[in-house]
Structure 1
Amino acid sequence: MVRRTGRRPGNPDTRESILAAAREAFAERGFDKTSIRAIATAAGVDPALVHHYFGTKDKLFVASMNVPFDPRELLPSILAGGAEEAGARFVRVFLGIWDSPAGAAGVALMRSAVSHDWAARLIREFIATQVLRRVTAGLGIDPDEATMRASLVASQMAGLAMARYILKFEPLASAPPETLVAAVAPTIQRYLTGDLDGVLGHA
């Protein structure tokens, strides 16, 4: 029998090999600088096989994070109605995810990010490119301001997630979602569309 050489064909381990290579690449080089071809090379497979399993680079990134939802499916709920009250919609969607069974994955990711720099880079890249970039673009925010505004939103929501779901500060931890929407949304709205009093000059 002739032994085959070259790239591995599809097998039960191929998908996990691709995901492992993708996580490493996205953490090291970021989403924008990572290509399907580079991931395929690292995994020892043909790029066509990566597309076969995952379709696009965006879908591969979502799969590599092992999150139980696709951020793109949540965007219509945030973007509906334009920039007005986008802060409230954003917080409402955020809490809806974290208060659902999917929130367990968020807690695990947050704890991993705190403990491991590699995980922190991966999660930061995921949130920046798959969530916040899409939100700011969908709301028509000036690209020159979008990065700073998105970073400020991330800082607020990361703090909320840490306090409510990991440290479990009371009464924050058990407060009804709409109570938190009313409290936090004005700050998120200001970060998204409001006057930041010269902060944007340092973006």
Structure 2
Amino acid sequence: MADPALPVPRRRRRGRPSGGATDARERILDAAVAEFEAHGYDAATIRSIAARADVDPALVHHYFGSKADLFTAVIDAPMQPARFLPEILDGDLDGAGERLVRFLLDLWEQPDFRRRGIAVMRAMMGSKRTANILVGFVSREILRRITTRLGGGDDARRRAGLVASQIVGLIVTRYVIELPPIAEATPDEVVAAVGPTLQRYLTGDLEG
């Protein structure tokens, strides 16, 4: 019989982290990157991600909900458009194209970011479902912000779409398929070559 003087231990709800599991969320994100990279979005499962992170699958659901929500978190965690886009787009738009290219290269040249970004891009190219998730993310977090900064309307949406297409093309050719002329160029060379194109999309004559 239990001693009534002793406190009765509270049962921890299944899937909730213990006091020592403060790094569980990051472990899950890292495991998701590895699973998406190794197996693609469709073959990766919450169970396999949980096993790689050494957590209960219920903990993955606790932090992220569905696999689609987890994939969105994998995209959002390193990029955080709400943080970097205002720095690039606020104030005078002159030079914003170069600033945007340089910022993206600074991110993608970091090994940890590049690994996560490549996993996302490969998962996207291998699954229509992940492509739709990424399109939704880019539309909501990036295109909308650029469109708003350019004043809204059809012309602004067109310009934002062109900017996004250039950025995605640069990332794929330099970091995912590593096309030699682009992959071997220095960041300064890429900024000098691509920055003016983005600047024209943002503020220049699109008909010229």
Aligned to 2:38: none
Q: Give the unaligned 5+ runs of structure 1.
A: 1-7, 25-59, 199-203
Aligned to 1:192: 202
For residues 64 and 172 of structure 1, do their structure 2 counterparts lie closer, same or farther at Cα, with a shift above 3 Å needed? closer
Number of residue pairs matched by the alignment: 155
- Counterpart CA distance in 1 for 2:139 and 2:15 is 32
Residue number among 103, 109, 112 corresponding to 2:114 in the alignment: 103
Q: CA deviation at 1:64?
A: 5.8
Aligned to 2:10: none
Q: CA deviation at 1:151?
A: 1.4
1:48-97 deviations in Å (ceiling 9; x for gaps): xxxxxxxxxxxx99636353242212124312442111111111111111
- Counterpart CA distance in 2 for 1:86 and 1:136 is 14
Residue number among 147, 164, 173 corresponding to 1:154 in the alignment: 164
Residue number among 79, 86, 96 corresponding to 1:86 in the alignment: 96
Aligned to 2:133: 122
AA partner of residue 143 (structure 2): L
Residue number among 169, 174, 179 corresponding to 2:179 in the alignment: 169
- SS of corresponding position for 2:181: coil
1:6-17 alignment runs, 5 A limit: 11-12=16-17, 16-17=60-61
Sequence identity percentage: 41
TM-score of the two chains, using structure 1 as the length reference: 0.65
Aligned to 1:21: 66
Q: Give the unaligned 5+ runs of structure 2.
A: 1-12, 18-56
AA partner of residue 17 (structure 1): H
Assess if the C-alpha contact under 8 Å between 2:68 and 2:133 holds in 1: yes
Q: CA deviation at 1:136?
A: 3.3
After the TM superposition, which of the residue ranges 189-198 and 104-113 deviates more from structure 2? 189-198
Query: What is the root-mean-square deviation of aligned Cα atoms in Å?
Result: 2.7
For residues 85 and 98 of structure 1, do their structure 2 counterparts lie closer, same or farther at Cα, with a shift above 3 Å needed? same
Q: CA deviation at 1:160?
A: 0.9
Runs of 4+ with deviation above 6 angstroms: none
- SS of corresponding position for 2:110: coil
TM-score of the two chains, using structure 2 as the length reference: 0.64
Aligned to 2:36: none
